[in-house]
Structure 1
Amino acid sequence: MSGVVVSADRSSGMVATVKMGNQVNLIDESGAITGEDTGPTPMDYIMSALGSCTVITLHMYAQRKNWPLERAEVTLEQRTLSTTESALAAGDKRTLISKTLQLTGDLTAEQIARLKDISSRCPIQKTLEAGVVVQTTLI
């Protein structure tokens, strides 16, 4: 299990402190949700995890194949699907993350198609698509 510790106290408002190993980061909500916008939102962290995992996976694969991938860029957008879009019962919500790839390099059409396929195999995307079980323990 990875050692991520997140804490917040009454005086911090919507700001949470995230400790990951030797690194400390802040998470906040936008002013629209009564945060102060002093850091990325929790959803920003999920989206950045997916995006960074995607580009790293693409570069690792291209390097193994000795393909000329110079740059991989991923643009991510997230929205909640309506009940009719997701074919779920009323009140159930699903999130759609749209992922747009931009690949730069002297790549063939076949290489580009393969990289698109590989982009969906990064560990973070696999985890999100499989669903996550969260077990909470109170101490």
Structure 2
Amino acid sequence: MDITTHRGQGPMQQVIEIGPHRLLTDVAPAFGGEDSGPEPHDLLAAALAACTTLTVNLYAKRKGWQLDDVQVTIRHGQEGAAYALHRSIRYVGQLSEEEKQRLTDIANKCPVHKTLSGQIQITTEAA
């Protein structure tokens, strides 16, 4: 699926189109924006959080485990030469410690986690 962006209504606002879905991204006023949407790094962190919850929920459902909810918090930012993503996972439900550990193992295998942990190649064409 192609993802496209174009200028939105604010001075820095961008409209992201993903198939039929539209999202806004912006920057804080200190950077010339209006804070009308999350910054791009926030969307990256949100992708990891969403993929984690979806992957863990699918696995627990398939196993028949009593996972009522999974809550993921991502703290992110530049740390020296690296961009760091710190993920905290809270499992809600009647789960044993072994089940929680297995869910954490599965969370580390979600597709976005694997993508961000692996080698990424970006090619650019300019028109």
**Fold-level similarity (TM above 0.5):** yes
Q: Give me the whole-angstrom Cα distance separating, in 1, the residues matched to 2:82 and 2:22.
A: 31
Give runs of ≥4 in structure 1 deviating > 3 Å: none
Indicate the residue corresponding to 1:114 in structure 2. Answer: 102
Q: For 2:23 and 2:77, how far apart are their aligned partners in 1?
A: 25
**1:123 matched to 2:111:** yes
User: Unaligned regions of 5+ residues in structure 1, if any?
Assistant: 83-92
- Partner AA of 1:45 in structure 2: L
> How does 1:14-93 map onto structure 2 within 5 Å?
14-82=12-80, 93=81
| TM-score of the superposed pair, with normalisation by structure 1 | 0.86
TM-score for the superposition, normalised by structure 2 = 0.94
Letter of the structure 1 residue corresponding to residue 24 of structure 2: L
- Secondary structure at the aligned position of 1:137 is classed as coil
**1:34-55 deviation digits (Å, cap 9, x = unpaired):** 2100111101110111000000
Distance, in Å, in 2 between the alignment partners of 1:103 and 1:109 is 10
2:94 pairs with 1:96 = no
SS in 2 for 1:14: coil
Alignment check: 8 A CA contact 2:51 2:112 kept = yes
Q: Which amino acid aligns with 1:94?
A: A
Paired positions, count: 127
Aligned residue type for 2:83: T
Superposed displacement of residue 67, structure 1: 0.6
Give me the whole-angstrom Cα distance separating, in 2, the residues matched to 1:135 and 1:97: 24
Tell me by how many angstroms 1:80 deviates.
1.6
The structure with the greater share of residues assigned to strand is: 2
Structure 2: runs of 5 or more not aligned: none
CA distance in 2, matches of 1:131, 1:33: 30
